[in-house]
């Protein structure tokens, strides 16, 4: 009876460890999804005809970006620069799919590797025992 209780307690510890790992993965998935939803600034460079010439997903325009723009379109003084903020909503469907699929995928991958490795050990043991006199 003690052996059965020891096995149960070791499985209980394993279950607690796996639950904590899955909870940490879920928190990580939520934080990534939450960080993607916010106001994202965009720099729009507009010509005299109100056509958008260049759009950048940043708050500032680096010196190298200015150099590349001026090399392609001419002086930056001839254009109007606007900074717009784009509101990106929380990606609920992507978060929900990732929250369910990532832990399940991890469990399936571990099970697949376990099934793939376990028969190899048995085959090698059988071959070793078969060669012994």
The pTM for the full model equals 0.55
Backbone angles phi, psi at 61, to 5 degrees: -110, 115
Q: Dihedral sign, CA of 60, 63, 65, 69?
A: positive
User: Mean pLDDT over all residues of the chain?
Assistant: 80
Higher-pLDDT residue of 118 and 122 is 118
How many Cα atoms occupy the beta-carbon half-sphere of 30 within 13 Å? Answer: 6
Q: Which of 31, 26, 24, 28 is nearest to 91 (CA)?
A: 31
pLDDT tops 70 at residue 131: no
- Of 22-26, 69-73, 114-118, least confident by mean pLDDT is 114-118
Residues contacting 55, CB < 8 A, separation 6+ = 42, 43, 44, 45
pLDDT grade, residue 82 (50/70/90)? confident
Same domain membership, residue 112 and residue 47: no
Number of domains in the chain: 2
User: Both 45 and 33 in a single domain?
Assistant: no
| pLDDT above 60 (res 1) | no
In 3D space, the residue among 76, 89, 39, 78 whose CA is nearest the CA of residue 59 turns out to be: 39
On whether both 57 and 120 belong to a single domain, the answer is no
Residue range of the domain that includes 55: 39-87
The percent of residues in the chain predicted with pLDDT above 70, rounded, is: 81
| 57 and 25 within one domain | no
List, as one string, the DSSP characters of 24-51: HHHHHHHHHHHHHSSEEEEEEEE-TTS-
Q: Are residues 96 and 131 both part of a single domain?
A: yes
Do 32 and 97 share a domain, yes or no? yes
Is residue 85 within 8 Å of residue 41, measured between CB atoms? yes
| Residue 34 · residue 90 · CB < 8 Å | yes
Q: Summarize pLDDT for 5-40 with one digit per residue, the tens.
A: 655 566 788 788 888 988 898 899 888 888 888 878
């Amino acid at each position: 009876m003690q052996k059965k209780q020891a096995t149960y307690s070791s499985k209980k510890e394993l279950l607690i460890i796996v639950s904590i790992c899955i909870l940490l993965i879920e928190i990580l998935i939520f934080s990534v999804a939450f960080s993607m939803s916010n106001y994202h600034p965009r720099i729009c460079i507009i010509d005299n005809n109100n056509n958008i010439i260049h759009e950048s997903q940043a708050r500032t325009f680096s010196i190298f970006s200015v150099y590349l723009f001026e090399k392609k379109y001419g002086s930056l003084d001839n254009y109007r620069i606007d900074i717009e903020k784009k509101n990106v909503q929380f990606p609920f469907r992507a978060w929900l799919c990732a929250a369910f699929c990532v832990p399940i995928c991890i469990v399936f991958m571990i099970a697949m590797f376990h099934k793939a490795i376990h028969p190899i050990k048995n085959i090698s043991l059988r071959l070793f025992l078969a060669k012994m006199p």
